[in-house]
Amino acid sequence: MKEHASIFNDVLGPVMIGPSSSHTAASVRIGRALRQMVAGKITFFQADFDPEGSLAASYITQCSDIGLVGGLLGMYPTDSRLTKALEIAEDEGMKVLFRVIPFENTHPNTYKMTIKTDLGEELDVVALSVGDGMIEITEINHFNVAITGGFYETLLFGKDLALLEAELPEKISKFCFATVSENEGEILLHLKTQQALSENEKAWLKERMTVERMIAFDPVLPVLSQKEPEMLFSTVEEMVALANKEQLDLADMALRYESHRGSISESEVYQKAEDILAIMTNGIQVGLAGTSYDDRMLGAQSPKIRANRAKLIGDDLPAKILENISALMEVKSSMNVFVAAPTAGSCGALPGTLIAVSDYQKKSKDDLVRGLLAAGMIGIFIAEYATFAAEVAGCQAECGSGSGMTAGALVQLMGGTIEEAVDAAAMALQNVFGMTCDPIGVRVEVPCLGKNMMCGMNALGAANMALAGYDVVVPLDETIESFNKVGRMIPPSLRCTGHAGLAQTKTGLEIAEKLGCPLDCC
């Protein structure tokens, strides 16, 4: 079963605090899911990270540790108490243990976890962070599962199952899917629904199975998954053909896609985009007012643009783009609320550039919202056919993807056609193939700030090229396919592990040591 990407699950979001969507927000979501799997008070939590993966090098500096424990304590990704999660857990009697230990896995962001409660419950769970705060739980008590956080999940462990799958849609409201698996004589019946099961529905299931344990938990994503719809289009080429047939632009296609994907109205989609824009706009203001946070590498850089404006090259637009991007990256690094767009490490380029150009061109709020929706639509194709995870495909997956999204958004903002918007996205992506992820101290600051600025300017150039009628040569579908292949060729040492690049320079190592980086890569 393939769940199609959602603009507000996979692309524009999560709304969060912390340095990394893959490591902080995803960890909170995993922790929240685990919390719901048990009834008792959690007394013990252990998480293992493979030394060959990304988490071994980044789980402290990119806050996977506080994210997991915060989620176990019931916190959300925006909770200001996340920075104190470990202390709160200790005060509440939860023993927490993190280990870097080899184990078999297939993804660099694999969490192998055990939880125990005061009621004698014990769970072994394996989960993945797959990029931009998205998660997948792949194993519960040695049963293979596929849980991504968009459904209400009910898992019944036991034996003597006696029901027909055809009965489930008749007896279970909002039923979507069911799977049955067996492991060493034990059976798992796993149901996915769009609402929690009622007590009557649970009782009916227990009449048809000897249930030894039941686990049920709610979605952790903002837009629910649904029984797989037939999608309106699957490629950029198909989307453009449909848009031209109905005389629609890229923002229109975003509204239609997300409405269909999430079974919500187009007005709800628009409102969600408007809400996201408000958080982005506020983030710029917070950043420009000045931020402070003891445990970070860079102080406030954004005020320097205005203070030194007379020295800078060009008119107000490039200066404002750099200022906005700096402000948003500083909001992230000071543990204030921001939007990962598409990730935390690339949170500056899209909103910083789009809002600067909108102000410069005196565009309306509606123009700006529609530009953001257009960015989301470009991001859908990247999420579907590539990745936003730097641990998988380097920084091209994060800042590079953000640059392609921004280019499409700028063309939409300027009233360009859907062909021009997707061509701009393609050209922007073509310019960033092979971008590595080598943050100093495995922190999302340097060179992340500069890469966000570069990708904002790259998007501006690509948008102007498309609006001027430059030939794209390689269309967006093919560009994304190649983009994905190239990213996965980047060596693991340059995919957010701190084992190469600027992270291993003399200065980079000295900074990491000064910041107290506890990892062998530093």
- Residue 518, pLDDT above cutoff 60: no
Do residues 45 and 5 make contact, with C-beta atoms less than 8 angstroms apart?
no
Mean pLDDT of 166-194: 95
Q: What are the angstrom distances between the C-alpha of 512 and each of 99, 394, 414, 446?
A: 21, 20, 43, 11
Mean pLDDT of all residues belonging to the chain: 95
**289: its two tokens:** 């007012």
Q: Which residues contact 320 (CB under 8 A, 6 or more apart)?
A: 356, 359, 360
Strands 134-140 and 122-131: antiparallel
- Residue 205, pLDDT above cutoff 60: yes
Mean pLDDT of 63-72: 97
Predicted local distance difference test score (pLDDT) of residue 522: 41
Amino acid sitting at position 338: F
Q: How many CA atoms lie within 13 A of 275 on its CB side?
A: 12
Mean pLDDT of 422-426: 98
Predicted local distance difference test score (pLDDT) of residue 228: 73
Residue % of the chain over a pLDDT of 70: 98
Name the H helices within 298-417.
303-307, 316-333, 349-360, 365-385, 390-393, 399-413
Cα–Cα distance, 285 to 29 (Å, whole number): 28
Please identify which residue in the block is written with the tokens 């079974």. 263
pLDDT per residue over 134-171, tens digit each?
999 999 999 999 999 999 999 999 999 998 888 999 99
3 state SS of 339: strand
Confidence bin at 437 (pLDDT 50/70/90) = very high
- Residue 1, pLDDT above cutoff 70: no
Predicted local distance difference test score (pLDDT) of residue 73: 97
Between 290 and 249, the more confident residue is: 249
Q: Which residues contact 510 (CB under 8 A, 6 or more apart)?
A: none
Do residues 315 and 357 make contact, with C-beta atoms less than 8 angstroms apart?
no
CA 340 to chain centre: 7
Cα–Cα distance, 122 to 361 (Å, whole number): 58
3 state SS of 485: helix
Nearest to 410 by CA among 351, 364, 463, 342: 463
Which secondary structure element, helix H or strand E, spans residue 45, and what is its range?
Answer: strand 42-49
Nearest to 219 by CA among 118, 149, 148: 149
Do residues 411 and 420 make contact, with C-beta atoms less than 8 angstroms apart?
yes
pLDDT per residue over 87-114, tens digit each?
999 999 999 999 999 999 999 999 999 9
Predicted local distance difference test score (pLDDT) of residue 136: 96
Do residues 179 and 204 make contact, with C-beta atoms less than 8 angstroms apart?
no
- Residue 521, pLDDT above cutoff 70: no
Q: Which residues contact 382 (CB under 8 A, 6 or more apart)?
A: 11, 342, 388, 401, 404, 405, 480, 483
Cα–Cα distance, 444 to 345 (Å, whole number): 6
- Output the CA angle 494-82-140, nearest 5 degrees: 70
Which domains does the chain carry?
1-150 (3.30.1330.90), 151-218 (3.30.70.260), 238-515 (1.10.4100)
Do residues 262 and 11 make contact, with C-beta atoms less than 8 angstroms apart?
no
Predicted local distance difference test score (pLDDT) of residue 458: 98
Radius of gyration of the chain (CA): 23
**22: its two tokens:** 């893959």
Name the H helices within 191-315.
199-207, 236-246, 250-262, 266-288, 303-307
User: Is residue 129 classed exposed, middle or buried when 0-12, 13-18 and 19+ CB atoms within 10 A define those classes?
Assistant: buried
Cα–Cα distance, 276 to 371 (Å, whole number): 12
3 state SS of 113: strand
Mean pLDDT of 116-120: 97
**354: its two tokens:** 């789009």
Predicted local distance difference test score (pLDDT) of residue 165: 84
Mean pLDDT of 358-378: 98
Confidence bin at 517 (pLDDT 50/70/90) = low
- Residue 198, pLDDT above cutoff 80: yes
Q: What's 347's DSSP letter?
A: T
Written as one string, the DSSP assignment of 351-373 is: HHHHHHHHHHTT--HHHHHHHHH
Cα–Cα distance, 303 to 359 (Å, whole number): 18
Tally of residues, the chain: 522
Name the H helices within 92-167.
none
3 state SS of 508: helix
